[in-house]
Chains A and B, each alone.
Chain A
Amino acid sequence: MTDQTSPAELVRRSLKRRYRKERRFRAYGILAIVIALSALLVLFADIISKGYTGFIKTTITLDVTLDPEVMYLEDPTDPDELSMADFTAPIVRALQEELPDAQDKTAERELARMVGTYAPNRIRDLLKDSPELLGTTQTMTFLAHDRVSVYVKHADNDMYSIRLSEQQIEWVDQLREQGIIDTAFNDVLFSTGDSREPTNAGILGAIVGSLLTLVVTLVIAFPVGVAAAVYLEEFAPRNRLTDFIEVNINNLAAVPSIIFGLLGLAVFIGLFGMPRSVPLVGGLVLALMTLPTIIISSRAAIKSVPPSIREAAEGIGASKMQVVLHHVVPLAMPGMMTGSIIGMAQALGETAPLLLIGMVAFIVDVPEGFLDSATALPVQIYLWASSAEQGFIELASAGIMVLLTFLFTMNALAIWLRKRLERRW
C-alpha cells in the first residue's frame, strides 16, 4: 500500500458519478409524472372530443296549424278523441309548407321521420292543457329525429354513418339554410330521465338517483363511522379483541365493492324483502362500502389531535365524554369530513354493487323518493355506452363529463375544507 489516497480524494473521484446518478433519478421521477399526465390528457381529450356534441341539440322550429280536420280531433277535452287523433299530420303539413315539392305518400312518411319520435306528443299535451288553441297556428320548436341530429352534427365524421335517404339529406340542407333546423344548448340532457331516443335522453334521473343514494349513504355511514372511530380511539381498551376489530376494518376497506352488492342482495332484498332498484337499498350497500374508509380517516384525524389538549381539558376537570365531545371531535372534524367526502366520491363512482341490486335498469321517470326505482350516474353512462344507437356515443361521453364535474367538485370541497379548517400544532 504505497499509493495513499486521502478520503477527500475518494469523494472527489466519485462525485461526478454520484451527481449523474442523482440527475438520472430525478429524470425518472419527471418521466413518471409525464407518463401519468399524458395518459390523463389523452383520456380527457378523447372524452371531451367525443362528448361535447352531447351538449348540443338539433331543433326544428315550425309554424304548426292545429287544424281539427287534419288531426281528426273535434274536442280536445275528450280523452278518447285525444288518444285516437293524429298529431303527426300537422307537423308533416307544416314541413310541406316549407318544402312544397314533398307531396306524395312516401315523402310524407320520410318527413314524419325527420322530427323526433315524441314531437307529436308535444302537440297532444299542448291541446290537452289548453283546448282553446285548436284551430290556431302556433310556432313550436321540436327536437329533430335522432338520424337528422347525427347528420347535422357529424356529417363529416366517419365514426358515424348517416342513415337518412338522399332526399331527406337534401331537405335537411335546405331547412338548415332557412334556419328552420338549428342547433342549441341541449337542455333536455339536464331536465329529463333516460330515453331510448338519444335526442330525448337526459341525465337528470341519474343525477337525482345518485343524490338520493348518497344521502342515504351519508346519513348512515357518517354517524356510524365517526361513532365507531371515536369509541375505538378514545374509549376501547387495547386488547386482542380491539386489535382483531382493527385488522378487520382495514381488510373491509380493501374488499371489492361487488361483494357488498352480493351482501345487499342477500340481506336487504332477500331477507328484509326491500324492493329492487331503489336508492334506499343502494345507499345502504354503499354505506357499508364506505364505512371502513370513514372509520380509518376519522381515527387518523382523532389521533392527530395533540394529547396536550386532552390533558388540559382533563386538568380543569372535564369528564372523558366532555373531553371527546367538546374538544377532540370538533378539532378532528375537518379530517373526518375530508375522509367522508372522499368516501362519498368513491361511492358516487360505483357501479358494480348497484348491478346486483337492480339499479342498472332502463328507468325513464325521474325518481321522487328513496323508494322509487332509480339508476345512478355511472350506471347511466354504462347503459348509454352499451346502447346500439349512434346518438348515445356522445351522450355517454357527455355523461362522463358530468360525473367528473361532480367528482372534481367533491374533491375540491374536501381540499378546501382541509385548508380552511385544519389547525396545525
Chain B
Amino acid sequence: MIKLKAAVASVAVAGAMAAMSTPTLARDTINIVGSSTVYPFATVVAERFGRNTDFPTPKLESTGSGGGMKLFCSGVGTQHPDITNASRRMKKSEFELCQSNGVEKITEVRIGSDGIVLANSKDAEKMDLSLEHIFLALAKDVPDPEGGEKLVANPYKNWSDVDSSLPDKPITVMGPPPTSGTRDAFVEIAMEGGCKQYDWIKSKDKKEMRSICHNLREDGAFIEAGENDNLIVQRLVRDNDTLGIFGYSFLEENRSKVQPSTINGVEPTQETIGSDEYPVARSMFFYVKNAHVGVVPGIKEYVEEFTSEGAWGDNGYLVDVGLIPNPRDVRMKAAKKAKQLEPMTGDEL
C-alpha cells in the first residue's frame, strides 16, 4: 500500500507539475457555475455567445445556487469560477464569505423572473390551492387543528384533511433539495406566505417565525428529489396522486404531460408571473467577479450579450425558453449597471 501510494502520489505530482507548466492554466474559457434554474437560460446565452463571437463558448456547471456561491466565493484566480448564477439573491453571509476570501468587487445582474409551480399529471384532477393549504400540507409542525396558539406535529394525511374543498387524496409532494434556489424561494415565498396567515405566528420574532415556517415535513409526505426536474415529471406522469414543485420554464416544456395548480386562484402564466399576480415567483440573478474581467477574455462581452434586448427583452430569445422578462425600464437600468460593472456594496442585501 505504501509503495502504491508513493507511486500514485509521484505520478500525481508529476501530473500537477505538467499542469502548472502548461500555459493553458491561464484560462481562456469563461467558467460559470450555479443555479439549475438559471442554467437553461445561461446555456442558451453561452452557446449563442460562442457561436456569434470569436470567444470560446463558456463552460457551465449546474451546481445549485448555494453550491455556486461557495465555489464563486472561494477566491480570485483562474481556478475559481468567473460568474455564478442564482435563483435567489446572494445572502449577506455569502457576500461576507466572498469578501473574506478576497472576492471584493462583485457585480449583481437581475435577469428576470421565474414562477414556481405545483403541478400534477394531466390525468389527475387539477388542484386549486392557497398558500395556507401549501403551508398546512407541507410544514413539519402546524397550528393545532383543535385551535389555540400551539403547534403540533403535522397530522394531515390527505388533502381533504387540510381543507374539505380539496380532493381526498394522500399528500405526496416532490420538490428540490435544500441546495436548490427553487427550494429556498419556495420555502420563503409559498411556505412563509401561508404561515403568516396566522397572526400569532407572524407576531413572533423573525428567527422563531422562520423556524416554524421554513421546516418541511420529514415523514414522507414531502419527497426530496435531486436537482433533476425531469425525474419529478416522470414520477408525476406515473403517479397521479403526486404533486411536483419546479420552475415555470420547466412546466412550459412539459405542457403535454403536466398541469399547474392554481394558487390563490391564479393560474401561472407569463403575464400573471410578470405582474406579480401569481404569488410564487422569484427573481433570477447572476454575479460577476470583477477581478476576472480582463483576465479571462470575453466576460464583459458575455454580460453584454446576456443583458441585450435581443436576449432578455420582451421578444428576446430567452423568452422562448421560458424567461419572464423584467419591465423595460428595469432592464435598461440593469443593463447599464452591468455594462459598467458597478460592484455591490453589501448594504443592499
Stretch at the interface among B12-20, B87-95, B135-143, B199-207: B12-20
Q: Is the CB of A388 within 8 A of B229?
A: yes
Whole-angstrom CA separation of A332 from B253 in the bound complex? 56
Q: Is the CB of A224 within 8 A of B51?
A: no
Is chain A's interface secondary structure helix, strand, loop, or mixed overall? loop
Interface presence of A195 (CB below 8 A): yes
Whole-angstrom CA separation of A249 from B52 in the bound complex? 51
Given contacts A121-B51, A227-B7, A362-B61, 12 further A-B contacts (CB under 8 A): A83-B52, A117-B317, A220-B11, A272-B13, A273-B16, A274-B16, A275-B78, A291-B4, A361-B59, A362-B46, A364-B50, A390-B253
B8-51: CB near A (< 8 Å → 1, else 0) gives 10011101101110101101010100000001100110110011
Q: Is the CB of A371 within 8 A of B19?
A: yes
Residue of A nearest to B20 (CB): A273
Interface presence of A277 (CB below 8 A): yes
Cβ of A349 to closest chain B Cβ, rounded Å: 19
Provide the residues of chain A in CB contact with B29, threshold 8 Å.
Answer: 365, 373
Interface residues on B, range: 35 or more
Interface presence of A228 (CB below 8 A): yes
Interface presence of A172 (CB below 8 A): no
Provide the residues of chain B in CB contact with A158, threshold 8 Å.
Answer: 256
Q: Is the CB of A364 within 8 A of B47?
A: yes
Provide the residues of chain B in CB contact with A245, threshold 8 Å.
Answer: 1-4
Provide the residues of chain B in CB contact with A369, threshold 8 Å.
Answer: 24
Interface presence of A389 (CB below 8 A): yes
Interface presence of B278 (CB below 8 A): no
Whole-angstrom CA separation of A195 from B51 in the bound complex? 11
Can you spell out 29 A-B residue pairs with CB atoms less than 8 angstroms apart?
Answer: A161-B255, A161-B256, A195-B47, A196-B43, A197-B47, A220-B11, A224-B8, A245-B1, A272-B15, A274-B19, A275-B78, A276-B79, A277-B31, A280-B18, A295-B4, A360-B61, A361-B59, A361-B60, A361-B61, A362-B46, A362-B60, A362-B62, A364-B46, A365-B29, A365-B50, A373-B59, A385-B230, A386-B229, A388-B249
Cβ of A177 to closest chain B Cβ, rounded Å: 27
Residue of A nearest to B42 (CB): A362
B residues engaging A (CB < 8 A)? Answer: 1-4, 7-8, 11-13, 15-16, 18-20, 22, 24-25, 27, 29, 31, 39-40, 43-44, 46-47, 50-52, 56-57, 59-62, 78-79, 228-231, 249-250, 253-257, 317
Q: Is the CB of B57 within 8 A of A364?
A: yes
Which of B15, B47, B79, B250 interacts with A388 by CB under 8 Å?
B250
Cβ of B309 to closest chain A Cβ, rounded Å: 15
Interface residues on A, range: 35 or more
Q: Is the CB of B59 within 8 A of A363?
A: yes
Which of B4, B230, B249, B253 interacts with A228 by CB under 8 Å?
B4
Whole-angstrom CA separation of A371 from B19 in the bound complex? 8
Q: Is the CB of B39 within 8 A of A362?
A: yes
Q: Is the CB of A389 within 8 A of B19?
A: no
Provide the residues of chain B in CB contact with A389, threshold 8 Å.
Answer: 253
Provide the residues of chain A in CB contact with B43, threshold 8 Å.
Answer: 196, 362
Interface presence of A267 (CB below 8 A): yes
Provide the residues of chain A in CB contact with B257, threshold 8 Å.
Answer: 161
Whole-angstrom CA separation of A188 from B6 in the bound complex? 45
Provide the residues of chain B in CB contact with A284, threshold 8 Å.
Answer: 11-12, 15
Whole-angstrom CA separation of A390 from B257 in the bound complex? 12
Provide the residues of chain A in CB contact with B2, threshold 8 Å.
Answer: 245
Provide the residues of chain B in CB contact with A121, threshold 8 Å.
Answer: 51-52
Q: Is the CB of B228 within 8 A of A160?
A: no
Cβ of B38 to closest chain A Cβ, rounded Å: 12
> Given the known A-B contacts A360-B61, A362-B43, A365-B56, are A388 and B19 also in contact in the complex, defined by CB atoms under 8 Å?
no
Provide the residues of chain B in CB contact with A295, threshold 8 Å.
Answer: 4
A residues engaging B (CB < 8 A)? Answer: 83, 117-118, 121, 158, 160-161, 195-197, 220, 224, 227-228, 231, 244-245, 248-249, 267-269, 272-277, 280, 284, 287-288, 291, 295, 358, 360-365, 369, 371-373, 385-390
Cβ of A299 to closest chain B Cβ, rounded Å: 13
Q: Is the CB of B61 within 8 A of A275?
A: no
Whole-angstrom CA separation of A228 from B60 in the bound complex? 39
Provide the residues of chain A in CB contact with B24, threshold 8 Å.
Answer: 369, 371-372
Which of A195, A249, A277, A280 interacts with B59 by CB under 8 Å?
A277
Provide the residues of chain A in CB contact with B256, threshold 8 Å.
Answer: 158, 160-161
Most buried by B among A161, A197, A268, A275: A275
> Given the known A-B contacts A224-B8, A274-B16, are A244 and B1 also in contact in the complex, defined by CB atoms under 8 Å?
yes
Provide the residues of chain B in CB contact with A390, threshold 8 Å.
Answer: 253
Provide the residues of chain B in CB contact with A288, threshold 8 Å.
Answer: 8
Q: Is the CB of B44 within 8 A of A196?
A: yes
Whole-angstrom CA separation of A272 from B10 in the bound complex? 12
Residue of B nearest to A248 (CB): B1
Cβ of A245 to closest chain B Cβ, rounded Å: 4
Provide the residues of chain A in CB contact with B8, threshold 8 Å.
Answer: 224, 288, 291
Q: Is the CB of B230 within 8 A of A272?
A: no
Q: Is the CB of A272 within 8 A of B1?
A: no
Cβ of B71 to closest chain A Cβ, rounded Å: 9
Cβ of B301 to closest chain A Cβ, rounded Å: 12
Q: Is the CB of A276 within 8 A of B249?
A: no
Cβ of B271 to closest chain A Cβ, rounded Å: 19
Whole-angstrom CA separation of A272 from B14 in the bound complex? 10
Provide the residues of chain A in CB contact with B61, threshold 8 Å.
Answer: 276-277, 358, 360-362
Can you list the 6 inter-chain pairs with the closest CB atoms, starting with the nearest? A161-B256, A272-B16, A388-B253, A364-B57, A362-B60, A361-B61
